Amino acid sequence: MIAVGRGYAGRPPAARWIAALLFAIALPAPAAERIASLNLCLDQILLRWVPPQRIVSVTWLSAEAQYRNAPIPEHVALNRAQAEELIPLQPDLVLAGQFGAQRAAARLEEMGFRVVRIPDAYTLEQLQTQLGALEQALGPLPPLRARQQQLAELLAPARQKNPQAADVKHPTALILSANNITYGSGMLEHQLLTRAGFINLAAEQGIDQLGRVSLEQVIALQPDLLVFYGGAQDFAIAHLAERHPVLKRYIDSGRSYRLPEALGYCPALAAVDALEQLQQKRAELVQQP
């Protein structure tokens, strides 16, 4: 039997009801035991960080070869972001992205399901916010806490070199993606380059967000590091290198790097690793004559 203090028991019924309501609101939400996702990135996070028995459904995209980075348990249903697919599964929690599958999310909310929209992340700062929203929705998870800690350490001011320091070398880099797309200022990819200690030549050329760069411009800019972005389904990098000897020299000399594909659709899983690898790449380049 729960003991009740005198102050609570002596209150009138309305006051007791209000006090009980406030107490309930203050309590953390119970951990969801049946979780469904309507978003590819959130699929991947669930499959990588959440115990499989808590997952009831992810989107069909996570079963596609180009996105499948984690095994999908047999009991997990694949959905095409339709509310009718999730209703029979009776999830305790439905995760949705900031913009996608809004009709299904709204329909499920109307039917009384708990739907949490996780904000998208296009910068490292937004990524911190996204991870915080995930923790609030999913509860404490060791892999999630570990990723938050890694990101906090990489973004700590003490880890950032003074750009004006004479002993700091800043090699140049340029990102080359499908259709000769490059990434300038205002993009997560730009942040990764600059925080790893590189000068992003696209931003130096005045490109804000996305722009195009020809192979002739790549040769003229002479980046210290050529960063490829995209997989075989976007462009055949091996064939491209064979056709252009300059790009082949970058690859053969170790002055190239491939950003992980997951960075494009789920930076929460890839940004920290990419930043660490770029930092290592910079360390290798500044040691070269």
- Whether 147 maps to a domain, the answer reads yes
What is the pLDDT at residue 53?
94
- Eight-state DSSP code of residue 271: H
* Largest distance between two CA atoms of the chain: 86
Question: Given this model, what pLDDT does residue 36 score?
Answer: 97
Asked whether residue 207 is domain-assigned, the answer is: yes
pLDDT score of 288:
62
Q: Which has the minimum average pLDDT: 11-15, 92-96, 97-101, 243-247?
A: 11-15
Distance of alpha carbon 45 from alpha carbon 91, whole angstroms: 17
- The amino acid sitting at 136 is Q
Q: How many CA atoms lie within 13 A of 88 on its CB side?
A: 7
Does 282 map to a domain? Answer: yes
User: CA 17 to CA 25: how far, in whole Å?
Assistant: 12
Neighbours of 143 (CB within 10 A): 12
pLDDT digits (tens, 9 = 90+) for 152-187: 887 776 455 544 444 557 899 999 888 788 999 988
108 within domain boundaries: yes
User: Higher confidence at residue 248 or residue 259?
Assistant: 259
Last residue of a domain, one of 120, 154, 188: 154
pLDDT at 98 over 60: yes
- Structural domains in the chain (count): 2
Q: Of the candidates 88, 87, 91, which has an alpha carbon nearest to the alpha carbon of residue 107?
A: 87
Q: Confidence band (pLDDT; 50, 70, 90) for 19? A: very low
In terms of domains, do 192 and 98 share one?
no
Residues 195 and 241 occupy one common structural domain: yes
- Determine the Cα–Cα distance for residues 226 and 224; give it in Å rounded to an integer: 7
Q: Give the global pTM.
A: 0.77
Of the residues 108, 123, 154, the one at which a domain ends:
154
- Select the more confidently predicted residue: 178 or 225: 225
Alpha helices (H) in 70-214, listed in sequence order: 83-86, 102-110, 124-138, 142-155, 188-195, 201-204
What is the rounded distance in angstroms from the CA atom of residue 119 to the CA atom of residue 99?
Answer: 9
Query: Would you say residue 4 lies in a domain?
Result: no
Gap between the Cα atoms of 109 and 130, Å rounded: 21
For tokens 């660490």, the residue is 276
Other CB atoms within a 10 A radius of the CB of residue 272 amount to: 22
Mean pLDDT of 67-75: 87
Residues 149 and 177 in one domain: no
In a domain, 114, yes or no: yes
The two tokens of residue 144 are 């999630």
Q: What is the per-residue pLDDT across 260-270, written as a single tens digit (0 to 9) for each?
A: 988 988 999 99
Regarding whether 146 and 219 lie in a shared domain, the answer is no
Task: Looking at the structure, tell me whether residues 139 and 76 fall in a common domain.
Answer: yes
Q: How far apart are the first and last CA of the chain?
A: 76
Band of pLDDT at residue 28, cut at 50, 70 and 90 = very low
For the ranges 65-79, 159-173, 215-229, the lowest mean pLDDT is seen at: 159-173
Structure tokens at 52: 């499989």
At 224, the pLDDT band (50, 70, 90 cuts) reads very high
Mean pLDDT, the chain, integer: 82
- State yes or no: pLDDT of 40 exceeds 70: yes
Q: Is 46 within 8 Å of 102 (Cβ atoms)?
A: no
> Are the C-beta atoms of 124 and 195 separated by less than 8 Å?
yes
Comparing 7-11, 47-51, 75-79, 176-180, the range with the smallest average pLDDT is 7-11
The reply to whether 21 falls in a domain is no
- The reply to whether 145 and 224 lie within a common domain is no
Distance between CA atoms of residues 95 and 99, nearest Å: 12
Asked if residue 81 and residue 173 are part of one domain, the reply reads no
Q: What pLDDT does residue 1 have? A: 32
Q: Is 45 inside a domain boundary?
A: yes
Pair 81, 178 in one domain:
no
Q: Are residues 102 and 194 in the same domain?
A: no
Q: How far is CA 86 from the centre of its chain?
A: 24
What is the percentage of the chain residues whose pLDDT exceeds 70? 80
Contact between 97 and 41 (Cβ < 8 Å): yes
Do residue 143 and residue 68 come from a single domain? Answer: yes
Q: Is 147 found in the same domain as 69?
A: yes
Question: In the predicted model, what is the mean pLDDT of residues 95-108?
Answer: 91
144 and 58 assigned to the same domain: yes
25: confidence class by pLDDT, cuts 50, 70, 90: very low
Structural domain ending residue among the three candidates 125, 154, 183: 154
Name the least confident of 23-37, 98-112, 207-221.
23-37
- Structural domain span for residue 76: 35-154
Give the mean pLDDT of 109-136. 92
> Is residue 221 over pLDDT 50?
yes
> What pLDDT, on the 0 to 100 scale, is given for residue 231?
59
**What CATH number does the domain containing 280 carry?**
3.40.50.1980
